[in-house]
Amino acid sequence: MRSISQRVNGFVINTGLMAMAIGGFLIFGGAPAAQADQFDRRPAVRYDNFREREAIERRGYFSPQADYWRHERREALEHRWRDRDDRWHR
């Protein structure tokens, strides 16, 4: 027959293992949902930003090409608006 201390130790060990298993399910169960939410809120890469950066690297900040792409970007942003979820629309 098992003594009281052996029963208590067994109960504590089993309870600890169950708590760790439930905690693991709770922690790792929410990770995919958080990752998908961050993917939706990631800003889109804009072509005019890329072209402006390339023109600055190749020809300098004050070059006509960089000025042209800065103008294109400003013009595109004037015709866009954000909704409540902070997403851009045309």
Tell whether 10 and 31 lie within a shared domain: yes
Instruction: Report the number of distinct structural domains present in the chain.
Output: 2
Could you tell me what percent of the chain has a pLDDT over 90? 24
| Nearest-angstrom CA–CA distance, 1 and 34 | 50
pTM of the model: 0.43
Tell whether 84 and 52 lie within a shared domain: yes
Tell whether 52 and 85 lie within a shared domain: yes
pLDDT at 62 over 90: yes
Helix, strand or coil, per DSSP, at residue 88: strand
* Residue labelled with tokens 């409540």: 84
Tell whether 55 and 36 lie within a shared domain: no
Domain that holds residue 14: 4-40
Tell whether 68 and 84 lie within a shared domain: yes
